[in-house]
Amino acid sequence: MRLVILNDNAPGEGFINDWGWSVLVEGKNRFLFDADTRGEVLLHNAELLGVPLTNLDFAVLSHWHYDHYGGFPLIGGLNPGIRLYTPPADSFPDWGFNIIPVTGEGELAPGVWTSGVIDFEQAIGVETNSGLVVIVGCSHPGVDRLTRAVLEVSGYEKAHLVIGGFHYPSRKTLDRLAEMTEFIAPAHCSGEEAKAYVRRKYPGKFVAVRTGSVIEL
């Protein structure tokens, strides 16, 4: 199983990037978690990485912020009719998906769980050979809360890796997170301070991520 970082706030050589977040998950299921700000970014970077954006089993949107859904019109056009799991909204855009609003926690597909919507955001857990991988979007409700919810629904005691935007977390939040996971990959809106803190205080846990990173699990 592997995670392909199609876009992150941190640039990668040869890739284009902007403020946003998008991860292609390739394992038992092949799916997209968040879709960045612009479809062109996803297209360009996916081509460079040699990963097609077609043939997805489903897609997940963490929360209704533009830097996470901007590329979904493109993804829906390339994968018409697939399920897109989103937090609830008053109305849903016609991007070509079968949009499924998620409220409670549960299993989206075998080995893929959602935390359920906490405040207005969901995170997911993915079973891998190395253990449970938790993927978050912006973590507006707190990366520790989202991770705890994913652990509870999946039945895991501890995560192998937590990756995504941590939204400028406090040190206390990062300390709590460190107790819940073997590895930590602060990305997107985590901020340089959070990255530096994890790198310094938990050097054995820190995983660097940028646009174009591929993480094999």
Residue 162 binds Fe ion, judged by CB under 5 A: no
Smallest distance, Fe ion to C-beta of residue 127, A = 25
DSSP state of 155: T
Q: Are 143 and 177 in contact (CB under 8 A)?
A: yes
Count Cβ atoms within 10 A of the Cβ of residue 43 and give its class: 0-12 exposed, 13-18 middle, 19 or more buried: middle
φ, ψ of residue 142 to 5 degrees: the values are 110, 125
Only one of the segments 36-44, 47-55, 65-73, 203-211 lies at the binding site for Fe ion (rule: CB under 5 A); that segment is 65-73
Residue 144 binds Fe ion, judged by CB under 5 A: no
Structure tokens at 109: 């597909």
Structure tokens at 174: 């990062």
Identify which of residues 37 and 154 has a Cβ nearer to Fe ion in the complex: 37
Residues in contact with Fe ion, counted by CB under 5 A, come to a total of 4
Residue 65 binds Fe ion, judged by CB under 5 A: yes
Smallest distance, Fe ion to C-beta of residue 139, A = 8
Structure tokens at 43: 């297209």
Identify which of residues 65 and 205 has a Cβ nearer to Fe ion in the complex: 65
Smallest distance, Fe ion to C-beta of residue 18, A = 11
Taking every pair of C-alpha atoms in the chain, what is the biggest distance, in angstroms?
45
Identify which of residues 76 and 137 has a Cβ nearer to Fe ion in the complex: 137
Contact positions toward Fe ion, by CB under 5 A? 65, 67, 138, 189
